[in-house]
Structure 1
Amino acid sequence: MSKIKVDGVEITIFTQNDHDYISLTDMAKSQHENIIITKWLSLKNTIEYLGEWEAMYNPDFNYTDFGTIKNTAGGNNYVLSVKEWIEKTKAIGIRATAGRYGGTYAHKDIAFQFGMWMSPRFQLLLVKEFQRLKEEETKRLNSDWDYKRFLAKANYTIHTDSIKNYVIPKITDEERKKWVYSTEADLLNVALFGFTAAQWKQANPTLAKQNLNVRDLADAHELLVLSNLEGLNAILNQQGIESHNKLDLLRKAASQQLAALRASSYTLEKIQSPFNIEKKKLN
């Protein structure tokens, strides 16, 4: 067990088999509302995201009951409890424990999603304190961990797996399949930064020769939003949304989330970079 303090609230974290689980019960205390976890869990988008996560990491996931839950969700009166979710789907991403440190815990990927739903500012604080905890741990273990790499990879696997499962099967041309992954990645680049990877390289040849890309030079806010967009795009892929419609939805989400983070009174310490680059949209 470890503890961090976020916005005056003490949050418990436990690690099992190299996976970190964060107390949603503790996080919910910041909202002074007992049923906030149930509200979040009952949302259709939350259920779809959890389904993607479980499909990725849980070989015993009950897809049949998951499908029933997903199809039922969405109504104003729909309510899904943590106990019901775990019992019906055999989920492992969220856990309910009893005893001294009892409560509802979620894998860090899921906990960060919950934090973003509560408040972009709270999620940013949570990531910052989680980073600090990991830095202290790595100093003791003499290993390497940094939050920028963590944010860049947080939902990457969920994103690529959704492409493999929901986009690739629709394509019959073998040559086209080869560039689908890069096209999906560029969809996120355009939504967040306003340009593709190739356009960035063309505008920044010196940095490109150093094997750098726009994501390497993104700030903490941008990487946080990028991670969230990967999770959102995984859901859109599952729903079969066309690329031009996905871009509109992703752009809107990126704009809203960045604005919320930029307006926050709290920011991660600015990372000093040897590069001075002006990020601008390219036509």
Structure 2
Amino acid sequence: MKNRIIDVQNVKITISKEELDDYICITDIAKVKSNSSRAADVVRNWLRNRGTLEYLSVWEQIYNPAFKVFESEHFKKQAGLLTFTPSVSEWIQKTNAVGLYVKRGKYGGTYAHKDVAFEFASAISPVFKLYLIKEFQRLKEEENNARQIEWNAKRFLSKSNYLIQTDAVKNYILPQRDFKKDSKWIAYAEEADIVNVALFGFTAKAWREKNPELAKKNNVRDFATINELTVISNLETHNAQMIREGKKKEERFEVLKEIAEYQLNILNTAEQIKMIEICDNDLTSSEALCLRDSFPI
């Protein structure tokens, strides 16, 4: 999910995953110092402080090439004046800042990059800041563990079910073949490709030819989604059973293709499954998936 909630000393803090990084709702943090109706005023008063503006300006110059330094100087010159009551939206609009943003509607409020949010928490309560950092780190550890579990699940599904299929090939197909004209590895590769083509629409060889560098350390299934690997698991089990039943490859392929289309559609459209999926945003995987779309069958 894009938004996560952590509980810091009985205060619910919303965290939003944005393109740049994690952003924390500082309007929620402000509730430590004031009630919900006045939380926005706490944020506004914090922005009036020259020290705050100095910190924000330096942060933006480090991480935001489009930041308008000259415009930020106008804010700093007015810091401390009674008539100076800047809004977050005004700061963003005039300086092109990215460290803060304002969100409307559900989970609305002012959000700050985690570096900025921790600085805001220091101004509110140094003790609360420590608890905030602790809970934030706990959240990130849970997310990292979840990603590791997903990766392990992918590899387990891929490897364990491939063993089921190759065992069926060895026991029910290889004995009927002419070993002078064929070999075990060819038979295994052909059976794997029945599943690959049924699901992906291309063979492992086609993928390797398109991705020679990736193929040195990876195979096509390393870049499949958890939904695709779940379907692969089912396809390999079905394929092994059909092999035992003596069905020809052509017949098995048609059956597997229908199963793949149906099951993948169910998984991709089920809202509950979508909510527990963890998206792979790493560039390498994205590039591989884009390349996959152009593979020949």
Larger Rg: 2
Considering fraction of residues, name the structure with more helix. 2
Q: Give TM-score scaled by structure 2 length.
A: 0.46
